[in-house]
Copies of this chain bind each other. A is one copy, B any other.
Amino acid sequence: MAATMRDVAEAAGVSIATVSFVVNDSKRVAPATRRKIELAMAELGFRPNKVARALASRRTQIIALVYPALEHPMATAMDFLISASRAATAADHQLVVWLVSYDGNELAALVGQQLVDGVLLMEVQLDDPRVAVLQDLGIPFAVIGRTRDVAELCYVDIDFDTTMQVAMDHLAELGHTRIAFINGSQDDPGFASYGPWVRSEIAYRDLTAARGIDPVVLQSRQGVRAGRAAAAELIGTAPDTTAVIMAVETAAAGLVVELGRLGRPVPHNISVVTINGMPDIAASCNPPLTVVTAPGTELGRLGVEALLSQFDPNAPLRRELRTGELILGESTGPVLRAAAAAGRPAKGKARGVARGV
């Protein structure tokens, strides 16, 4: 069996308390004694037992990452997990993964096991039952995203305003003024009022209003097929559109393909920029997509840091918003003069077929 503190204490000829002091560096210990103890520890290969430590100190140094994988799968989940785990490790904590739904009871049961010191909630909803549950339980927690009412809430989130602005600035610089927004669909189960979509749409409407652009908002569900449908709808309802901001990354490939098929090749006839997407997914499209990335990597770290900061009772409430970066692909280009001026689709069939050659 592994050596215990008692073994070390005996080997070093000191008391178990003193060993504890040097292990945790929690009290001054005479250099000589410390040396004896360190020697004994090395010889015995002593490793403090986390479980015993947790029981005695009432701190497990474990935090839970709560991810509703079934209800809200997200492409960036792994990025997020990785950066969260790194941040936890850096602060001498471990991460357990809880794949629970939005049912607060399940979460409460897990918290009740007293296995974790805090909870990091992913994919929080505008009205999220889990938040109230955790507040009642009195366990420290931070959320990724924001509830509708944000009072007292410790959160980190994407800055959707800036994200939208980056996308729109990019298109504006290319001369676009007819910029549609394809948002996620309310019909998608579980996404009825999904914070990122709600906030993105508000940002889009604000920005178009401020710039005198006619807002055109469509909705698309997830997946390539839905993207194709969105393309058809877009051309049907707003044929003079020259650029699209796309919030549904999984549908972006379908959108682009179908636009080409409809004689509106990307980027020659219509520009497409996705928001809150992932670089590698954007890059693997044809043409590679211009994207404002989701800052998943940063949010994971920030979320953990915000959570851990709460263990310090007189630390201020942390809240952070972050914006991803604009990665230029080949799905955005200058506006077609003819289309922009006339408000009609360019005769694109021939060009469309020749795309990318």
A residues with a Cβ closer than 8 A to B are: 2, 47-52, 54-55, 60, 62, 69, 77-78, 81-82, 85-86, 89, 94-99, 109, 112-115, 223-224, 250, 253-254, 256-257, 260-261, 280-281, 283-286, 288, 353-354, 356-357
Q: How far is the CA of A114 from the CA of B77 in the complex (A)?
A: 28
A352: nearest residue on chain B (CB-CB)?
B357
**What's the number of copies of this chain in the assembled complex?**
2
Q: How far is the CA of A215 from the CA of B253 in the complex (A)?
A: 34
Across the interface, A253 reaches (CB within 8 A) one of B94, B224, B284, namely: B284
Contacts of A54 in B (CB 8 A): 51
Contacts of A354 in B (CB 8 A): 353
Contacts of A115 in B (CB 8 A): 50-51, 62, 94
Query: In angstroms, how far is the closest chain B Cβ from the Cβ of A136?
Result: 11
Contacts of A253 in B (CB 8 A): 284-286
Given contact pairs A62-B96, A257-B356, A357-B261, A2 touches B284 in the complex (Cβ within 8 A): no
| Contact between B55 and A81, CB atoms less than 8 A apart | no
| Contact between A99 and B113, CB atoms less than 8 A apart | no
Contacts of A2 in B (CB 8 A): 112, 114
Across the interface, A85 reaches (CB within 8 A) one of B47, B97, B283, namely: B97
Given contact pairs A82-B69, A114-B50, A286 touches B257 in the complex (Cβ within 8 A): yes
A62: nearest residue on chain B (CB-CB)?
B96
Contacts of A47 in B (CB 8 A): 109, 112-114
Q: How far is the CA of A180 from the CA of B81 in the complex (A)?
A: 37
Contacts of A280 in B (CB 8 A): 250
Query: In angstroms, how far is the closest chain B Cβ from the Cβ of A328?
Result: 15
Query: In angstroms, how far is the closest chain B Cβ from the Cβ of A56?
Result: 9
16 A–B contacts from the bound complex (CB under 8 Å): A2-B114, A50-B114, A50-B115, A51-B51, A51-B60, A62-B96, A69-B82, A78-B78, A85-B97, A224-B283, A224-B284, A250-B280, A260-B356, A261-B356, A284-B284, A285-B286
